[in-house]
Chains A and B, each alone.
Chain A
Amino acid sequence: GQQLNQSPQSMFIQEGEDVSMNCTSSSIFNTWLWYKQDPGEGPVLLIALYKAGELTSNGRLTAQFGITRKDSFLNISASIPSDVGIYFCAGQLWGANSKLTFGKGITLSVRP
């Protein structure tokens, strides 16, 4: 089946630093999404991307849909302690019953 690759499993950064995460796939997707999960909660949608090459920002977050449609990246600028959490990428194909395929997530730690 389709798989999304996110690595490394964990990242440790200093408060104020920028961090970039990427997500790759062996097959194409029509939609890429990035979710964040806070401890003890469910994942929450951060950014959705619908077109190859699309670059979208949401505050300090910027995400891009790769032109090959097989990858996406998420950048967090000027990190703050509340950025701590697990970041999941997800890909989706168009069509009925089209389920999301999730990466395994990257756990981000921010040192004050």
Chain B
Amino acid sequence: DAGITQSPRHKVTETGTPVTLRCHQTENHRYMYWYRQDPGHGLRLIHYSYGVKDTDKGEVSDGYSVSRSKTEDFLLTLESATSSQTSVYFCAISESGGYTFGSGTRLTVV
């Protein structure tokens, strides 16, 4: 296996509640990324990390925050979920070159 796990795989939450998605890797890769995938938009970068406690914003970062307190875990938090954040979220890892993706988290905000 690729050594990247996302949890949960599916989640339904109510508008206004906080939600945290977890990405866990066993590859010791330096770079980790969070994307969202929506029909017609492809993959859009939310936030990424280039090391422990080193993170930066992607193109659709509003409403999201991230944390990376150790190499293997990269957390994505929706502080107050909105219906527009209903999407499939993918984590990816890389050391250099191409990315390896997780299997995704399908999040529905009702």
Which A residues have a C-beta under 8 Å from some C-beta of B?
Answer: 1, 9, 31, 33, 40-45, 48, 88, 90, 92, 96-97, 99-100, 102-105
Contact = CB atoms under 8 A, between A and B. Distances in A.
A9 B39 CA distance: 10
A43 B59 contact: no
Contact of A31 (B43, B97, B103): B97
Contact of B103 (A42, A102, A103): A42
Given A1-B59, A92-B97, A99-B45, A104 B102 contact: no
A interface, over-half SS:
loop
The 10 A-B pairs with the shortest beta carbon distances in the complex, nearest first, are A42-B101, A104-B42, A102-B43, A45-B98, A33-B98, A43-B101, A105-B42, A97-B50, A42-B90, A42-B103
A42 B42 contact: no
Nearest to A100: B99
B70 interface: no
A100 B98 contact: yes
A78 to B, nearest CB: 26
Interface string B49-79: 0100000100100000000000000000000
Nearest to B9: A40
B82 interface: no
Contact of A88 (B33, B42, B50): B42
Nearest to B91: A42
Contact of A45 (B33, B50, B59, B100): B100
B97 A88 contact: no
Nearest to B90: A42
B39 to A, nearest CB: 10
Q: Which of B41, B43, B45, B56 has the most CB of A within 10 A?
A: B43
Contacts of B104: 40-42
5 contacts: A42-B104, A45-B98, A48-B98, A96-B50, A97-B31
Given A45-B100, A48-B97, A102-B43, 6 more contacts: A41-B103, A41-B104, A42-B92, A43-B101, A97-B50, A105-B42
